[in-house]
Structure 1
Amino acid sequence: MENYFKSTKENQMMRAYLRKRVHAALDERLERFEALETPEQIAAYQERLKTFFRETIDLDSFERGPLKARVTGKLERDGYSVEKVIFESLPGFSVTANLYLPGGEGPFPGILHPCGHSSNGKAYEAYQRANILLARNGFAVLCYDPIGQGERLQLIDPKTGKKLPGNSSEHLVLGVAPVLLGRSLASYMIWDGMRAIDYLQSRPEIDPDRIGCTGNSGGGNMTSFLMTLDDRIQAAAPGCFTTTTRRKNESPGPGDPEQNLFAQTREGLDHPDFTIMRAPKPTLILAATYDYVPIEGAWDAFRQSKRIYTKLGYPERVDLIEAPEKHGFTRRMREGVVRFFSRWLKGENVEVFEPESVRVEKDAELQCTSKGQVLRMEGERSLFEVNRERANALKAARTEAWAGLNREERREAVREVLGIEPEALPSRMELGGFGSTIASGGGSSEFRELLFEPESGIRLPAFLSRGKAHSEVWARNAPVDLFCFDGRWNFGDVSGLPIFEDYERASSAETIGINLRDSGFSKTKNWRFYGADAWIAHMLGDSYLAMRTRDLISVTKWLKSSPRIESDMQFTGIEVDEPRTKEEEGNINRPIHLHAEDEFVPVALHAAALEPELFESVTLHGGILSWEEVIDSREPIPQWHNVVHGALRHYDLPDLIELIGEGRVTWK
């Protein structure tokens, strides 16, 4: 079986399957783009995508409260000063920032500088250099720590300030729970940026009508999002982020959770659109020749943007810098940004060159909090607590709504959240000519390897094990124990798989073990970022939980209604619509006992809740029984494959147990 799933890095099963879906969606998006000719058509295109963007991150649910801004210290430097600022983007949720102010009298244009993925956030040297160069050229700059960086770490002991154990990036950890709430980690990061603009505009030294935004890498990501959603940003320069989804998905793959918006690919929101949606406002794309963010994609995005700006009559307002360097906010980019903002926010064409010697502060000098972390301040809330507050509000609303639905309406609500059609067809099944007789418990047993095909491009490896003396029991309504697990087997030997340890197989038992997609033999390898395929599915408006649930329902329908599997079969391609004998027609009610372990527990619950007539019983080994566990978990990454966008607006996993039926679910 292992040899069957050997492939190149690029052509692994899920990568190939998702690539086909992504390219189809992007082709549709390109057709819509190519049809844009008039300003009215462009405006409608922009508005549709902006509306979708706001909805997919639940932006309109955020409310502006008091900033409660305060300055905790100030540094006087040659030609500029640096103020240490703390403000609240949400009640009890603080943002640490440095405000660089030029010497002389204002009001000055204000530049928002969201940081990239630096562990020390705003204190990163390249970001300090950019801020200083801008300040010395007459711009006020607010550079703030992103969530999970600098003074805003979320995974620390509040008493000591030490990081909690674990090797994962905070963004990977923090990006899981918001999905269940119908949000994204980007929702909070975008809101931080918008509140930061509120603070900039509140300062008398800053002209509220001349606001710009620039950032690199993760900061380029946030710049792209903010410049699209916040009309106050007059000029913007995103760096080392802009490319195209088609190219980025191949390498390096999807980035951190805040970069990947639910259903953005399905809805036709591609990287060029972040610039197109703000046209014709001035935009400068910063790109690096040797970046891991594909430079070819940056030029593709720029060309599309240039065409739209030209059709609107402002071709000069969009440009691109390609620096012959690797990923980073490098000197050439910093100089180009200052020239760009000077032109569009000050009306000046200037030559700017960064001096070789620049005073860069140590991290502690730029620290805004007294103890180095916001979570060590009295009354401060973590993002976990912010999520919990939102989850509690959703729970109250969904409990009331769920109570008003009958059982079929509840199933329909679950189907709608997952995107599963009730008329899903059974799988095809292939016998690849594999067959063996092995010794088991002192007797002989038949072991066969199978491949199920629930849809084109997806193959699910499985095995059938049963007593050889009972090779015909398949045709006599024999009970089937169906196991979903993430593991590989040696041919004829499943003794090392934990899920089978507490199951004693009788000599007449029919046992099917199956790897649902992207598990066991078909698990994807070699991605730069964890869970990349699941994020690609997320951007398609799908989820691994939904896809695996469809797999399980499809396979079970085949098992309920298939022809018998005999020991002498040596052919492939048993089709579900083949003519059957009268004996075979009687097998429509073959009892299926479902077993699932760990990450497949939510899959089993969904399949049995949506199609309870397919299963006699459901036995669960480990895993979670409520998504509420994910909201509070400091280690939610193992559950990434089991979250569905906005699910906690409608139901939780215990609601599924009620739909399956009393006494039919056992959890071990």
Structure 2
Amino acid sequence: MTDTGQPTRPSAIAGYGDWPAYVQQHARYHAATAAAQELADALGVPGALPSPDVTVHWEETHDGVTTSQLGWQLGFGPRSTGWLIRPAGASGPVPGILALHCHGGNKFGGADRLVELPESHPSAENARAGHYDGRALATDLARAGFAVLAHDTFGWGSRRFDLSVPPRRTAAALEARQAQWRQDGVVPSGADVYNAAAGFHEETLARTAGLLGTSLAGMVAHDDLAALEILAALPDVDQERLGCIGFSGGGGRSLALAVLSHRIKSYVVTCMMTTFQALLPAFLDAHSWLLQTPGLWRLGDWPELTARAGASRLLVQYALADQLFPEDGMRNAHRILESLHSPESYTGSFWPGGHIFTAGMQREAIDFLSASLGANDLNTLPPFSYQGPCS
């Protein structure tokens, strides 16, 4: 209770009480080019601190790869967890990949959905089954000859907000969801409850970020840039052969990172490419704040942002029955990309099916990154169930 006898209002950013001060003190990320700087300013990416100290929590070698759980503390919020997966026994510097997890409506977990772990939380297993065709993308990339870092980004997994006492708007919406669960006879898991709360809370995060002069996408990019610096600093990683890959919201992160950092030489965007016009009016509510940063369209259409990247190779994978994008928006984006890039620098592939990163799409993406960045022979990979792209 307050001195006036009113109930104490819970924090809307619990676990991140130091976030506003950090943004105020590190107000601007400095990109290498004017074109990249415009995107950084539009997203409100805060300036990054020097690479943080990284702690290795555990390490094990199994089935051809060595997996290490890492941790580091950025300048605000909870500690970050990441997993470094690399080919066991590799000699000499190998190319590096930042594997960027999707949104997926699952903020309880983060990058653990991309990694084969001794023990996986059910939320990670469900995300992998529902969005990645049951495969652990980061581990498969390591088996193909890459050093792969998969990290929890701002708002996900180890970097999630504390919603144990949700702020009032979130609490009211969550109460309605829980009432529906009770009526339906559903007993939600702790992850289910958190993810429901986090879905409602994202509106509060977007408002808070806007007040601070940043955005959800800008804060996520901040964490991604820090992770990229950690990857680049590893002694067995070739700094001149770095790439990134992401599905859905991770695909948006991949595009943004390729623009913001000159380190990225090749990248993959899967199921996250359309024109902004195609989202109007029916598809606006199909997407999170990761895509819909206020004012972003002023810089150009979504596919046009790729022209701001210094990366030399880009693969975009489209799913023709994607529930989040109309087909005409994807095909128009493809035409724009073909007009902006040479056939040697841009590859677009259309796949049957919905909003899923299928095993066949993953194999194509790994092949593409291997050819672009010079990884090892892909014959080291286990068999994939493969259905090729369509026209």
TM-score between the two structures when normalised by the length of structure 1: 0.42
Letter in 2 for 1:73: W
* Alignment match, 1:337: 365
Does the Cα contact within 8 Å between 1:116 and 1:220 map onto a contact in 2?
A: yes
Does the Cα contact within 8 Å between 1:186 and 1:257 map onto a contact in 2?
A: yes
Structure-2 change in CA distance of 1:105 and 1:68 (3 Å): same
Between the aligned residues of both structures, percent identity stands at 25
Distance 1:215 1:178 in 2: 23
User: What is the number of equivalent residue pairs in this alignment?
Assistant: 304
| Alpha-carbon distance, 1:353 to partner | 6.7
1:67 paired with 2:52, answer: yes
* Alignment match, 2:140: 133
| Alpha-carbon distance, 1:164 to partner | 6.8
* Alignment match, 1:117: 103
| Alpha-carbon distance, 1:181 to partner | 1.4
**Deviations 1:197-244 (Å, cap 9, x if unpaired)?**
111012112111111000101101111111111110000001111111
Gaps of 5+ in 1: 1-45, 358-668
> 1:316 aligns to what SS in structure 2?
coil
Distance 1:354 1:296 in 2: 35
Distance 2:261 2:211 in 1: 25
Distance 1:131 1:174 in 2: 28
* Alignment match, 1:326: 354
1:155 paired with 2:162, answer: yes
| Alpha-carbon distance, 1:48 to partner | 6.2
Distance 1:65 1:102 in 2: 28
Moved more, 80-89 or 63-72: 63-72
Distance 2:315 2:197 in 1: 36
1:272 paired with 2:261, answer: no
1:346 paired with 2:335, answer: no
1:178 paired with 2:184, answer: no
Distance 2:78 2:254 in 1: 21
* Alignment match, 1:78: 63
Does the Cα contact within 8 Å between 1:122 and 1:128 map onto a contact in 2?
A: no
* Alignment match, 1:191: 222
**Deviations 1:251-295 (Å, cap 9, x if unpaired)?**
421521222223122x24211123222266100001111112233
* Alignment match, 1:224: 255
Structure-2 change in CA distance of 1:352 and 1:301 (3 Å): farther
**Deviations 1:90-126 (Å, cap 9, x if unpaired)?**
2554221111111222311110011102422222223
| Alpha-carbon distance, 1:79 to partner | 0.6
Does the Cα contact within 8 Å between 2:144 and 2:377 map onto a contact in 1?
A: no
> 1:155 aligns to what SS in structure 2?
coil
1:286 paired with 2:317, answer: yes
Q: Which of 281, 284, 290 is matched with 1:258 structurally? A: 290
**Deviations 1:166-194 (Å, cap 9, x if unpaired)?**
64514333222010111101121001111
1:295 paired with 2:323, answer: no
Trace 1:585-664 onto structure 2 (pairs within 5 A). Answer: none
**Deviations 1:595-651 (Å, cap 9, x if unpaired)?**
xxxxxxxxxxxxxxxxxxxxxxxxxxxxxxxxxxxxxxxxxxxxxxxxxxxxxxxxx
Structure-2 change in CA distance of 1:164 and 1:295 (3 Å): closer
Distance 2:345 2:222 in 1: 27
Q: Which of 57, 73, 80 is matched with 1:95 structurally? A: 80
Letter in 1 for 2:111: K
Distance 1:47 1:216 in 2: 26
Structure with greater Cα Rg? 1
| Alpha-carbon distance, 1:130 to partner | 1.3
Letter in 2 for 1:156: L
Structure-2 change in CA distance of 1:164 and 1:195 (3 Å): same
Structure-2 change in CA distance of 1:144 and 1:84 (3 Å): same
The root-mean-square deviation of aligned C-alpha atoms, in Å, is 2.8
Structure-2 change in CA distance of 1:251 and 1:146 (3 Å): farther
Q: Which of 88, 92, 108 is matched with 2:94 structurally? A: 108
Letter in 2 for 1:90: G
1:234 paired with 2:265, answer: yes
* Alignment match, 1:541: none
Distance 2:252 2:327 in 1: 15
Distance 2:317 2:380 in 1: 16
Distance 1:308 1:166 in 2: 40
> 1:257 aligns to what SS in structure 2?
coil
**Deviations 1:295-330 (Å, cap 9, x if unpaired)?**
3322222221222223xxxx3110012221211221
Distance 1:69 1:95 in 2: 10
